[in-house]
Amino acid sequence: MNQLYFKLLKRTLCMNLKTATGLRHCEGISPGSAGILPAMNVQKGMSVISRTRCPRSQALPCDLPRRDSNIPIAISVMKRIPFITLIFAALAIFAAALPGGTGVLEFTRDAFARGEIWRLFTAHLTHFDAAHLRWDAFALLLLGSMAEWNSRRDWLVTILVSAPLITLAVWIIQPHFEVYRGLSGIDCAAYGVVAGHLLRDGWRPRHWPTLALGMLACGGALAKCGYELITGNPFFVGATDAFAPVPLAHLAGATIGVLVVFASDAAMRLRSRANVSPAGHAETRMADAA
């Protein structure tokens, strides 16, 4: 009986090896051989599987065709590069260097009333002076990269949602601002994505240090907005006559970033439940039939 089981096991391993490596023949390979095949010990009808590596000096069957191991590494490196953040920062620098670009891209109430809707998005690429651009671009590269490393999808959705909503919030709630420029609202949206991931990762498994860090991050955003609202000066740039801070844009951006993270997490949970529920209903019907 054990001999028959051993032969069936050998044939199964041979078929699996052909499928995984593309080999046409594996007659010389046995379940007990040292190599990429599992080493099998048959005792009382039970199999104990342990994988062993092939020695460098050993010839075939260990010298089997392998996939290029550099390809997964290259893909992993590419995923870690914050493309969206780099492109967004490059567009802001290009808008500043383009002659007449600020006048075409900035948000003004008169231009928006004429139907120039693109300014809701492009206003974030324009700035009032070099210091304004420098600080906003630095914050975007730092916070945007962190947000993109957490979730590129959440970061992209946050940009697409927050860009028009921030400008619309300023247009509706703060009518005394005739012109709106700056990446600071998007910077705060990136900050919100990072804080949202901390809150989500801390709340789901009840990891209290991570949750406390996320709450501290949210408190820091509120404190920054409060400082700018009371003093009337940008938190990082300091006192300047070139422009005035817009705490509303910063608070709106951070809030949207947090909400996008939790909305994305809720959508993933709903999709996973929808995928699992049909199988669960099938099992229930089978149990009832039995």
The whole-angstrom separation of Cα 189 and Cα 181 is: 15
Query: What pLDDT score was predicted for residue 241?
Result: 75
Determine contact, residues 261/197, Cβ cutoff 8 Å: yes
Query: What pLDDT score was predicted for residue 154?
Result: 96
Query: What pLDDT score was predicted for residue 14?
Result: 61
According to CATH, where is 1.20.1540.10 located in the chain?
A: 89-275
Query: What pLDDT score was predicted for residue 7?
Result: 61
10 Å CB burial of residue 155 (0-12, 13-18, 19+) is: buried
The structure tokens 């900035």 sit at 106
Determine contact, residues 256/165, Cβ cutoff 8 Å: yes
Query: What pLDDT score was predicted for residue 233?
Result: 86
Question: Rounded to whole angstroms, what are the CA distances from 217 to 134, 139, 224, 226, 254?
Answer: 23, 15, 11, 14, 10
Query: What pLDDT score was predicted for residue 11?
Result: 64
CATH class of the region 89-275: mainly alpha
For the CA atoms of 164, 167, 173, 174, what is the dihedral angle to 10 degrees? -170
What are the start-end ranges of the E strands in the chain? 39-43, 46-50, 107-108, 179-180
pTM score? 0.69
Local confidence pLDDT in tens for the 290 residues of the chain: 556 545 655 665 565 555 545 555 555 544 444 444 444 443 434 434 334 444 444 444 444 444 455 666 666 677 789 999 999 999 999 999 999 999 999 999 999 999 999 999 999 999 998 989 999 999 999 999 999 999 999 999 999 999 999 999 999 999 999 999 999 999 999 999 999 999 999 998 888 899 999 999 999 999 999 999 898 888 877 677 778 889 999 999 999 999 999 999 999 999 888 887 555 554 444 444 44
